[in-house]
């Protein structure tokens, strides 16, 4: 196989983008072992893809970037998990947890239909009743097995042995 034609076929780019078939991936792995020059081509293809992605990237709005950076600067020098205590020189956990409000005023609630709640409660009741009936039947089966064993054993075996 001509190496130049193989490189120009686009298999490397499909492999890097995750679009190659398993057969193409195996073939590329085999070709990489045969031709070490493919490693350089793969690295060059990665750089080409990355530069294309960066060229077409849409930057986030500046106000959002500024807000995120301000939040980062505000909490940069705070200690989240421990607070230094000057009295005994040790460290103790803070009295109140520290929260970072990423998007203030964003009041999102998850609502669940009343029918899903009813279905969940019915499922819980069904599970508990099945567990209780399984336990009852297990105990009852053990009792019946004991009775069956007593009925099958001869009467002489049940009497205490005399010396």
Assign 3-class secondary structure to 15-52. HHHCCCCHHHHHHHHHHHHHCCHHHHHHHHHHHHHHHH
Give which of 78, 82, 101, 98 is closest to 90, Cα–Cα: 82
Average predicted confidence (pLDDT) for the chain: 80
pLDDT confidence of residue 59: 80
With bands split at pLDDT 50, 70 and 90, how would you rate the model's confidence at 66? Answer: confident
Given a cut of 90, is residue 128 above it in pLDDT? yes
pLDDT confidence of residue 120: 93
pLDDT confidence of residue 125: 97
pLDDT higher at 157 or 82: 157
Q: What is the mean pLDDT of residues 16-35?
A: 91
């Amino acid at each position: 196989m001509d190496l130049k034609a193989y490189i120009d076929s686009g298999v490397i780019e499909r492999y890097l983008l995750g679009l190659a078939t398993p057969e193409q991936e195996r073939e590329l792995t085999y070709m990489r072992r045969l031709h070490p020059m493919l490693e350089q081509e793969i690295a060059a293809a990665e750089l080409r893809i990355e530069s294309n992605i960066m060229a077409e990237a849409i930057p986030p709005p500046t106000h959002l970037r500024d807000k995120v950076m301000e939040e980062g600067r505000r909490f940069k020098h705070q200690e989240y998990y421990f607070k230094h205590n000057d009295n005994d020189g040790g460290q103790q956990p803070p009295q109140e947890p520290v929260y970072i409000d990423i998007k203030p005023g964003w009041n999102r609630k998850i609502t669940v239909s009343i029918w899903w709640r009813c279905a969940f409660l019915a499922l819980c009741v069904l599970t508990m009743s099945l567990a209780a009936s399984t336990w009852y039947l297990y105990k009852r089966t053990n009792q019946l097995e004991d009775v069956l064993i007593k009925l099958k054993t001869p009467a002489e075996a049940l009497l205490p042995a005399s010396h």
